[in-house]
Amino acid sequence: MSSPADLLTSRFGDGLATGPDLAAAAESAVAQALVPLRGQRPDLLCVFVCGDDPAMAESAGIRGMEVAGARTAVGCSAGGVIGAGRGVEEGPAVSAFAACLPGVRCTPMRLELVHTLDGAAITGMPDRREDDAVAVLLADPFTFPVAEFVRRSHDDLNGLPLIGGMASPPRGRRSAWLFLDGHSVPAGAVGVVLGGPVVARPVVSQGCVPFGPSMTVTKAEGNVLLELAGMPALAKLEQIVAELPAEDRPAAVRGLQIGIAMDEYAEEHERGDFLIRGVVGADQQRGAIAIGDVVEVGRTVRFQVRDSSAADEDLRELFTRFRAQGGPVGGALLFSCNGRGRVMFPSADHDVLAVRAGLDITGVAGFFAAGEIGPVAGRNHLHGFTASILVFGTGEA
């Protein structure tokens, strides 16, 4: 007789295959992902393809969906893929994720940017239902306004969480391949809305550790911070770095970021309470620093450091918190920045191995994204250098 744990793990599977024959690799990756399902038809299949040849990449995405026979299937081309405990960057490879989600409503979506007499508009988003839980979004950044769509999504989609990433095109192609229910989609965005009795929670690791105090922005112009806590912003930064232990200063300078507090009413602001943005420049004459977002006067900010050690620590702490909340975990979709992998860590396998170990699961697949989508403090954002993860629990709400 199967135990509850056996039944849970039999709902999720992942696979990865490499080689120049991408269609064959797709068949192999999907076959691997289906093994743990023990003959059950998947309700959701995700296929991710990395390869230089546009025609072969398209064929592989379609073929992977054909052999699975899933009720809903989505996917895209990417600069690297993740599955079977491995990450493969740049070389020809296909990864797959399969899930049985009893009773869960999987509504596919194909979004397009259209131009009308009244201006540009997005079409294809399903009507919002009260029990919609989360949507997976895979977007082509060359033909779809990802940043604007994500920025407006909280209001336009009534708070529906989005998780996913931006696809990358095969070499020689001006847009990424997107895949939906056995067909290739040449532009826009695709995805699936999960509703009904679904347990799926986003985990977004921005890979940073805060340092120094939380500060109020006392003077700013657009994305330029002129004063922090009443001091010239650059002088304040230099003061904070000087107060760090000598051994920590080089990392703070190399990996300097800034966090914008999402909840101004919180008594304390710690890791996970900030939206991370880059520090992109400094103006010695004005004593100012420029960051990768617009911050209004009165907002709370805190400097952050991002490097391999901080990113690894952030993932481990997030998973510790997640598991402390209880409930069994069955599988996960992982959208890791293409600036992580071997650029940040010794191995492209780092993030997938961290997810598998941190959540004690094996069904983990995804891709290296050109920008990651995920909520921070209840609002959707487009990130960089982030691991955005959709963690699936049991099929009972």
Q: What is the DSSP string of 62-126?
A: HHHHHHH--SEEEEEE-SEEEETTEEEESSSEEEEEEE--TT-EEEEEEEEEEEETTEEEEE-PP
pLDDT of residue 397: 47
Of 64, 90, 270, the closest CA to residue 182 belongs to 64
Tens-digit pLDDT profile for residues 250-282: 999 999 999 999 877 666 666 778 999 999 999
pLDDT of residue 396: 54
Q: Which helix (H) or strand (E) holds 211?
A: none
Q: In terms of pTM, does the model score above 0.85? A: yes
HSE (CB half, 13 Å, CA atoms) of 352? 29
pLDDT of residue 283: 94
Helix (H, G, I), strand (E, B) or coil at 367: strand
d(CA 303, CA 49): 37
Q: At what angle do helices 22-34 and 54-68 cross, to 10 degrees?
A: 30
d(CA 190, CA 227): 42
93, β-bridge pairs: 18, 50
- In the block, which residue shows the tokens 């880059």? 278
The residue type found at 28 is S
Beta strands in 145-284 (DSSP E): 162-166, 178-180, 183-185, 189-195, 200-205, 209-210, 215-221, 224-228, 231-232, 256-261, 274-283
Taking the CA atoms of residue 380, residue 383, residue 385 and residue 388 in that order, the dihedral angle to the nearest 10 degrees is 20
CB 194 within 8 A of CB 384: no
Q: What is the mean pLDDT of each run of 10 residues along the chain (397 residues)?
A: 47 96 98 96 98 95 96 97 96 97 96 86 92 97 96 93 96 91 96 95 94 95 96 97 94 94 73 88 95 94 94 94 87 97 96 97 97 94 96 71
pLDDT of residue 115: 86
pLDDT of residue 6: 46
Domain ranges of the chain: 4-205+311-392, 209-305
pLDDT of residue 327: 80
Tens-digit pLDDT profile for residues 100-128: 999 999 999 999 999 887 878 899 999 99
Q: Which helix (H) or strand (E) holds 196?
A: none
pLDDT of residue 4: 46
Helix, strand, coil shares of the chain, percent, nearest 5, are: 25, 40, 35
pLDDT of residue 262: 86
pLDDT of residue 260: 95
**Per-residue buried b or exposed e for 134-169, using 16+ beta carbons within 10 Å of the residue's own CB:** bbbbbbbbbbbebeebbeebbeebeebbbbbbbbbb
pLDDT of residue 267: 65
